[in-house]
A and B are shown apart, each in its own frame.
Chain A
Amino acid sequence: MLEIKNLVAEIEGKRILDGLNLTVNNGEVAAIMGPNGSGKSTLSYIVAGKEDYDILDGEVLLDGENILEMDPAERAVKGIFLAFQYPLEIPGVATMTFLKAALNSQRKARGEVALTTPDFIKRVNEAATKLEIPKEMLRRALNVGFSGGEKKRMEILQMALLQPSFCILDETDSGLDIDALRIVADGVNALRSPDRSFLVITHYQRLLEHIVPDTVHVMANGKVVKSGGKDLAVELEASGYADYKAQEAA
């Protein structure tokens, strides 16, 4: 369970989050929607531990423990996973090498034994097959020369392999064609379970037709301004964000 309480954050003196409150229960899929510049991506970065922001107030509790003092690696070990909107390219580092390093670092930090190579390869291959990722891609340098869709599938592969308890999908639908969207959504849906929660950040309702949320929250000007069920996303698609922007401005 993730609880965000009165989170206030700035970057270079500019307020991005302004008293944000949000709770995502175990097993819940929560969607966050909102106009450009409302602070959605910032929220995902702050939960994952990016250092660029000044946190002025508030708490982020994962299963009751405040994670704001932890570095990104410690948060990952605790179960936080951010699927990046723009996954980064790392030339010269084979995807397999990276996956193994990430998985075994987390296992080591949790006091678990490292996976044997055959066991590791088996797990990767299983996950890759489900996501229609060719083996040849795993031998290439991480994300280098991958298409937008391939990069997003690689993010979901990492998620499947690392088995986090709290997953954030930051505009995972951006840049995906219909087929890729279906593959990614199927990958996410396969990971849904009672002890894993998701925060799905998106502009569009389209993604939420494939990954059906339990709750939908509207973010504007750095806070959650409306919460509801999955129907809220459909309403938003019809009415747009103008009302929420106007509400804030008033």
Chain B
Amino acid sequence: MADIKIMKTPAETTIAELFSASKAALPGDASAREAAFARFTKAGLPHRRVEEWKYTDLRAAMREAAPLAPQLSDRAVEKALSGNDFFAEANAAKIAIVNGHVSEGASELGALPDGVNVVTLSQALAENHPLLASLGAIKGAKSNVAYALNAAFMTDGVVLHVSPGVEVSRPIHLRFAVDGESALATATRVLLVVEEGASVTLLESHESADGVGHQPNNVVEIIAGDKSRVRHLRIDRHGREALALSTLTAHLGAHVAFDSLNLVARPGFTRHQVYMTFAGEHTVGGVRGATMLNGSQHADTTLFVDHIAPHCESRELYKTVLDGEAVGVFQGKIAVAQTAQKTDGKMMSSAVMLSEGGTMNNKPELEIFADDVLCAHGATCGALDDDLLFYLMARGLPRKEAEALLVESFLGEPIEEALGDDETLHGAFMAVIQDWLAARS
């Protein structure tokens, strides 16, 4: 049999070199990293002929692979965090994760609310912490390239544990930042285990400066125990040239109330993946997002929602605003197993095009094996409503301002659904939207 040599792209070659060079220094079980890296090597960087990545050609987008970011001094951390803190008003306990490493000096690790225990991921990996057994709870994510790369390279992050029955008094804010003169890669991992009957809000923000093409890859894994209530709220404000990959996995027990909200405002190229599994009965899970794009930005949201247990309700609502030549992607797959009778699932993706040049790709999918379910999906794409614009302009609002108000109204829906009456957090999200709109006019 002839030898078949698979051609690697320059980025794939660099990633392999980086893994060889850095693996000895990375914390924890080397064999698990090797296995994860083997999964990546087998697949390579995905391209448009791989169905899951049809609209998001990662191989084309990642021409070069950036080296892993080095840990920064306290002073450099301060500089990296000198930008706007999106959740400043949220009275949250802060944990700063800068250039892929938890910065203890900029974090309140010792002052987290009662009932919350934290250990850094690097420490947990080094001592093989028992909670790490919960990583990878959603098997489907394992074969995903972004997830596998993260598993191979993960440097640090946090493992959070909320004790049974504890209502955590204030939110926990994970503030991620990347800072460096040249492009840097990070691989960070968060594990949040919420025990039975507990409730917690996890805030996640990502920031980096414009002008440098950083390559962050972040994974958040949430295990929500029975009767727990978990909110996960995320703002992605990486720099203009960033290529940001992120994955959320949510494994939901019975009688859980789970909400996740993702706001994407600035990075040039993003892919946010959500794996949500309904493993227990009578659980309500909502994943929502708002994305604002202009120029040649590309943003992808890809969902894998698995209903295994019966009597669960899932809500997926994503809204995208596109200006310039931007490209939006929404892929959402709801799978309902034969065991998941009485599932109630609703998925919706809507896009508003502010220019002629934008492209929106919507791919909702339902895969249903149970015979007594209520599932619906929809996708819309269109310009702002002319009648609404006329109404606002007839009151004296110039066109741009009228458009801005309508965009706020459009994007506000998933935010309101996720946050309800929480004015502080609502304000934090709307401020990012208003910033984007102000820069437009």
Contacts and interface: CB of A to CB of B under 8 A. Distances in A.
Interface in A61-116: 71-73, 75-77, 80-82, 84, 87-88, 90-93, 98, 101-103, 105-106, 109
Interface in B374-419: 386-388, 390-399, 401-402, 405-406, 408-410, 412-413, 416
A243 interface: no
Contacts of A162: 395-396
Nearest to B400: A73
B399 A93 contact: no
B396 A90 contact: no
A71 B402 CA distance: 12
A187 interface: no
A82 to B, nearest CB: 5
A105 B410 contact: no
B289 to A, nearest CB: 16
A76 B413 contact: no
A158 interface: yes
A131 interface: no
A72 B394 contact: yes
A76 B408 CA distance: 23
B175 to A, nearest CB: 28
B391 A76 contact: no
Given A72-B393, A82-B394, A93 B387 contact: no
Interface stretch (A43-51, A178-186, A208-216, A217-225): A43-51
Given A51-B386, A90-B406, A92-B408, A102 B395 contact: yes
B416 A92 contact: yes
Contact of B388 (A50, A88, A141, A158): A88
Contacts of A105: 395-398, 401
B288 to A, nearest CB: 14
Contacts of B397: 73, 101-102, 105
Interface residues of B, number: 23
Contacts of B405: 90, 93, 98, 101
Contacts of B410: 92
Contacts of A109: 396, 398
Given A93-B408, A98-B405, A105-B401, A84 B396 contact: no
Q: How large is the interface on A (under 10, 10 to 19, 20 to 34, 35 or more residues)?
A: 20 to 34
A81 B394 CA distance: 7
Nearest to A161: B395
A51 B396 CA distance: 15
Contact of A72 (B390, B401, B409, B412): B390
Contact of A73 (B387, B396, B412, B416): B396
B419 to A, nearest CB: 12
Interface string B248-292: 000000000000000000000000000000000000000000000
Q: Among B406, B409, B410, find the residue whose CB has the most chain A CB atoms closer than 10 A.
A: B409
Contact of A76 (B387, B388, B396, B406): B396
Contacts of B406: 90
A50 B387 CA distance: 9
B409 A92 contact: yes
A194 to B, nearest CB: 23
Contacts of B393: 49, 71-73, 76
B391 A73 contact: no
A48 B394 contact: yes
Nearest to A52: B386
Contact of A51 (B390, B391, B416): B390
A84 B393 CA distance: 13
Nearest to A103: B396
Of B388, B390, B398, B406, the most chain A CB neighbours within 10 A belong to B390
Contacts of B413: 91-92
Interface in B83-136: none
B395 A76 contact: yes
B396 A88 contact: no
A106 to B, nearest CB: 4
Contacts of A82: 394
Contacts of A76: 393-396
Contacts of B399: 71, 73
Given A51-B386, A71-B399, A88-B387, A93 B394 contact: no
A105 B400 CA distance: 11
A88 B402 contact: no
B84 to A, nearest CB: 22
A-B complex: 3 closest residue pairs judged by Cβ atoms: A92-B412, A76-B396, A72-B393
26 contacts: A50-B390, A52-B386, A71-B393, A72-B394, A73-B394, A73-B396, A73-B398, A73-B402, A75-B394, A76-B396, A80-B394, A81-B394, A88-B388, A88-B391, A90-B388, A90-B392, A90-B405, A91-B412, A92-B409, A93-B408, A98-B392, A98-B395, A102-B392, A105-B396, A158-B395, A162-B396
Given A82-B394, A90-B409, A102-B397, 12 more contacts: A49-B390, A49-B393, A50-B390, A72-B394, A76-B394, A88-B391, A90-B392, A92-B413, A105-B395, A105-B398, A109-B396, A162-B395
